[in-house]
Amino acid sequence: METYLRMADLPYQNYFGGKLSAQGKMPWIEYNHEKVSGTEFIIDFLEEKLGVNLNKHLGPHERAVSRAVTKMVEEHFYWTLAYCQWVDNLNETRKMLSLSGGGPFSNLLRWVVCHITKGIVKREMHGHGIGRFSEEEIYMLMEKDMRSLAGLLGDKKYIMGPKLSTLDATVFGHLAQAMWTLPGTRPERLIKGELINLAMYCERIRRKFWPEWHHDDDNTIYESEESSEGSKTHTPLLDFSFYSRTETFEDEGAENSFSRTPDTDFTGHSLFDSDVDMDDYTDHEQCK
């Protein structure tokens, strides 16, 4: 379920439910009886009211790039994830869906909700245009978006550099679905295989902002696409000792492949830790 925030000064509360804003949108907030809907308008509103700006360190060019990538994620990548979640992977989604008040009819209720949602997603995807493509074409578009994000992130701590920005909130919110809610699907295999820097990025943010969040699937298989069943390395996610299948960095892979990225910097710190100084790491690499 999507959420809205009801805020009276602070602290705020999350209300999980199906209630929509006056514009029929999610998410939306209510702050001191003033309602605002739409992520972009909510961010602008809170920046003005609370004096907090996660993008103050960004220059004009970086702000433009951030907005362009945000719209790619929200208006394009989002729909490919929705297709995977509610159309192609509907049975697994139904198993994970939690509904209150269903009683003995909870299984039937989940089935009904999932199939109604599937119809809505397919209709809206058709209106958007992306739903008019074949399944393979939709997944091809998804992969291009994910590779673009992986290439933009590179070995940086966050998408726009060493400091967090609102773009990271957007990107994490979408990539987290591929990481933890789409088991066995193509986006999950991609993020935990070839585009491993995106998995490290998600884990870095999860540990920094939700240290109490533990997932049932923390013992995850990380693999590259060329790995055979017998060569897959079973590595606990918390260790991240998975960056090389051959334990060598001499064999360069594809341009946007990060399956051989080392998991520590020159000081021995783990690169998915939230306190890694990426500037020091970059300067050290350039001096090699």
Please state the pTM of the whole predicted model. 0.70
Q: Where are the alpha helices (DSSP H) in 27-130?
A: 39-50, 60-72, 78-83, 90-96, 106-128
CB–CB of 31/49 below 8 Å? yes
The residue whose two tokens read 């399944």 is 135
The CA distance from 205 to 166, in Å, is: 13
Confidence of residue 16 (pLDDT cuts 50, 70, 90): low
| Pairing state between β 28-31 and 3-7 | parallel
Q: Whats the size of the chain, residue-wise?
A: 288
The predicted-structure confidence for 132-144, as pLDDT tens digits, reads as follows: 999 999 999 999 9
Residue-wise pLDDT for 197-228, tens only, equals 999 999 999 999 998 886 555 544 444 334 44
- Tokens of residue 116, six digits: 């109604």
What Rg do the C-alpha atoms of the chain give, in angstroms? 20
Which residues share a beta bridge with 4? 15, 28
Four-residue CA torsion sign, 266, 270, 272, 274: negative
pLDDT in tens, 164-184: 999 999 999 999 999 999 999
pLDDT value, residue 188: 96
